Amino acid sequence: MKVRQIGIGIIAGLTLVITAACGSGGGSEGGGGGAGGDEKYSVGIVRFAPSEVTTETAINSYKKLAEGAGWEVTTANPDGAVDKAIGAMQDFVQKKVDLIIVSVFPSDQLTAGVKSAQAAGIPVASIAGGTTDGVPFGLDVIQTSGKDIADLVVKDLGGGGELLKLGYKAGAPCVGREKTLDEALKGSSTKVTREEVTIPGQLDAGTRFTQAWLAKHPKGDTPLAIWACFDDPAMGALVATKQANRTDVKIYGIDGTPAGIKAVEDGTLRATAAAQPVAAAKTLFEETPRIVADGPDAKQSMKPVPYEMVTADNVADYLKSHPGANQG
């Protein structure tokens, strides 16, 4: 609910402790703000999973900005489960928040939660899940994150070769990125093997699937590559190739996590597309008053999350402009 400052009184609240990768499945974490601007908002955030580094960074950055403005923020961690995400949204409706933010879950899979919010006049904003009826605003990571990597994969394979795809159908970013890769591969003779990773367990899944694939694809004249729809499975693939002493396989990730940037710097990861989640969080924070004022039935709009492809050719320059990006 909105609370306005009265006279010169100071509105005090609880200090929100921001942590980058914690929380228990299905639980809630509450927080509040200190003195801020004239308009205060109550925001409920449905995270995806603590292990999803990029969106966690965006959420924690948003929470920090909200704390500085004196807003009340509560988060819930469904740990990748759609039913728990819907339940968390319905809990936030009961708490009469001004805005619900949902991370990664495709908006069209959250119908029950969205309808509850819509009936209560509460808009829903999405981080990487797309817009739909009742979700009038979204941060887009699909169009901006996958194209350059997909084009590089096709170029490196020379229109042929063999490719292992590590995808994840439950996350809208991964679905969109895989679609972008499939479009780039059209007309090529590349033989594709696809595996579905799990969250949690994405690192282990990347290792396991790569081990099995490598056993069937010994080193030879055929170009070999592994594409992961986000960096974590790619890190698992790196573990497998290192264990097998294989340097003939090019590996690609997306999101630009510290581990991913470090792997590019070390020459073990061919490329990653580095997200700028702090900038994305600032955009969402600045849009919040408008989203709340316009309500759940407003015209749908998307704002892109900035991405930059990082390879061995530009990683040094990237680290100069993003110091510490390879440290986590």
Question: Which residue range is the domain that position 32 belongs to?
Answer: 10-139+277-304
Q: Are residues 129 and 245 in the same domain?
A: no
Q: pLDDT tens digits for 267-316?
A: 999 999 998 889 999 999 999 999 999 999 999 999 988 889 999 999 99
How many angstroms separate the CA atoms of 32 and 40, rounded?
11
Whichever domain contains 86, its CATH number is 3.40.50.2300
Q: Are residues 154 and 133 in the same domain?
A: no
Phi, psi of 30 (to 5 degrees): -100, 160
Q: Are residues 172 and 109 in the same domain?
A: no
Q: Are residues 99 and 185 in the same domain?
A: no
Q: Are residues 133 and 20 in the same domain?
A: yes
How many structural domains is the chain composed of? Answer: 2
Phi-psi domain of 278 (left: phi exceeds 0; alpha: psi -120 through 50; beta: other): alpha
Q: In the block, which residue shows the tokens 């509105």?
A: 11
Q: Is residue 318 part of a domain?
A: no
Q: Is residue 270 part of a domain?
A: no
Q: Is residue 120 part of a domain?
A: yes
CB 98 within 8 A of CB 2: yes
pTM over 0.85: no
Q: Which of 179, 164, 148 is nearest to 224 (CA)?
A: 164
- What separation, in Å, do the N-terminal and C-terminal C-alpha atoms of the chain show? 36
Q: Are residues 129 and 164 in the same domain?
A: no
Q: Is residue 265 part of a domain?
A: no
Q: Is residue 69 part of a domain?
A: yes
Q: Is residue 326 part of a domain?
A: no
Q: Is residue 157 part of a domain?
A: yes
Q: Are residues 89 and 151 in the same domain?
A: no
Q: Are residues 126 and 159 in the same domain?
A: no
Q: Are residues 164 and 117 in the same domain?
A: no
Q: Are residues 123 and 178 in the same domain?
A: no
Over the chain (328 residues), the average pLDDT of each successive run of 10 is 34 30 36 52 95 87 96 96 97 98 95 98 95 95 83 97 96 91 96 96 97 97 97 98 98 95 98 92 97 98 91 97 89
Q: Are residues 223 and 151 in the same domain?
A: yes
CB 158 within 8 A of CB 250: no
Q: pLDDT tens digits for 121-158?
A: 999 999 989 999 999 999 987 667 889 999 999 999 99
